[in-house]
Amino acid sequence: MAPPPPPRTLSPSSPSPSLRSSGCRPLPSARLRPVSVAGVGSAVFFRGTEPFSLRDWRAIKRFLPRDCPLIRAYGAIRFDATSDYSVEWEEFGSFYFIVPQVEYNELEESSVLATTIAWDDSLSWTWQNAVKELQSTLQKISSSPIKVNNSTLQTTIVKLNHVPTKASWDLAVTKALQMIKGKQRELVKVVLARCSRYITDTCIDPVELLACLKVEGQNAYQFCIQPPDAPAFVGNSPEQLFHRKYLNISSEALAGTRARGKTRADDFQIGQDLLLSSKEDNEFTIVRDSIEKKLEAIARILFGENMASAVLFNQGIYYILQMICDDVVVHPSKALRKLPRVQHLSAQLAARMRNEDDEFDILNTLHPSPAVCGLPTEEARQFIQDYEIFDRGMYAGPVGWFGGAESEFAVGIRSALLGKGHSTLVYAGAGIVEGTNPSFEWDELDLKASQHLDG
């Protein structure tokens, strides 16, 4: 695939630019659910160095009209924008979103090829400039055929090293457990991660890796984001952060991990062990309690302080009472989420917003999830800053897309960063709670990372 042309950015404070798309004609709603999307080039992009803010969200949203459902901004947000950047993540900034020039949409019942251009005469970026760059992008695409092996990567691992090492990991987990068991701190869970650098005998094509992850990707989100002249952020995340359709919003949280069984009976037994494990039940309870707190926070966003206390627990379902049109419901009962290599415990949340402007507040409320940070959030985030010795970048941050009438984000886990050479960084994390065994969690990291470079 030819590299995309340099992106163009329009100032959030500049006059509203013109924006057109070949997909701007409304289509029947039943056909608009995207199955997969591929985009190249940049009609407009958004990158920041400060934490993602309401102003940034508004700057993106003004490009995304409700009556043009195929105009979307795709991208990701750092796990922690207050932490120091490493060189491999610099081009992503604290957030990076792009409206592609050329976009192929595979929908549930059809496919659409859309082109989008943006221009703003006040910034000396005219209609003629925009059309000329679109033509250049189309020419590069037409002259760059792609052949992808959909099953395996044709590469061999030459060298592998982990940050942290196993010894450093054991020390960090032991310190976390001491703080969790101690009475002087409120920490009950922290998620620690590992960055593994693979050196391979060939350069890995991000598109080829994405195709392999799609084979792995039952019930998961596959993504690939690559700014110009930057590494590619590629992943296969099982966890939804949130999905918004008009005013309806849903979310999910995962806890606990086990491998899949080799036989149906073996798989069933492993799943039952996961459901009955006291350690995993402890982690799931933490996730469930965190969802309750997030539920209350969302209730404050939606209904104000007085409504936030109107919560009733009844047979595993939380209800916000005294609502006429708006509902917030959590299903915290245990359910197994089965993926090709692993299985998890899951809990789900659904809500109806008062208006779409609440989307930014809900994004901020749901990220970081207890599955990638811990609980309480700030104590866990501080522990991660103090004891992790690599930059997570966009790993474990929100990754997905904003649209005028719909938005969807996953949690950017089970992910990797592919550089220009033979080096690939693979990220994986594990939840540390009372009862955690450091060696078992290290093995869990290997299991989670295995999908990226295992043949």
Architecture per CATH, domain 156-452, reads as 4-Layer Sandwich (3.60)
Q: How much of the chain, in percent, has pLDDT values that exceed 90?
A: 35
**CA–CA distance from 131 to each of 117, 120, 137, 182 (Å)?**
7, 12, 10, 63
- What pLDDT was estimated at residue 179? 92
* pLDDT over threshold 90, residue 408: yes
Q: How far apart are CA 347 and CA 256, in angstroms?
A: 12
pLDDT in tens, 281-339: 666 666 666 666 665 666 665 555 444 333 333 222 233 323 323 444 444 566 777 77
Q: Tell me, what DSSP letter sits at residue 204?
A: P
Instruction: Give the C-alpha separation, 7 to 13, whole Å.
Output: 18
Domain boundaries, the chain: 156-452
Tell me the C-alpha distance between 168 and 230, whole Å. Answer: 30
Q: Per residue in 259-271, pLDDT tens?
A: 778 888 887 887 7
Residues of the chain with pLDDT > 70, as a percent, come to 74
pLDDT tens digits for 211-246?
Answer: 888 876 667 899 999 998 899 999 999 888 989 988
Kindly list the distances between the CA atom of residue 20 and the CA atoms of 16, 71, 102, 138, 268, in Å, as whole numbers in the listed order: 13, 9, 12, 16, 52
Among 211-225, 237-251, 368-382, 419-433, the minimum mean pLDDT is found in 211-225
Checking if the pLDDT of 159 tops 70, the result is yes
Structure tokens at 87: 């060189």
93 in Cβ contact with 107 (< 8 Å) = no
What's the rounded mean pLDDT across residues 403-431?
91
Model pTM?
A: 0.81
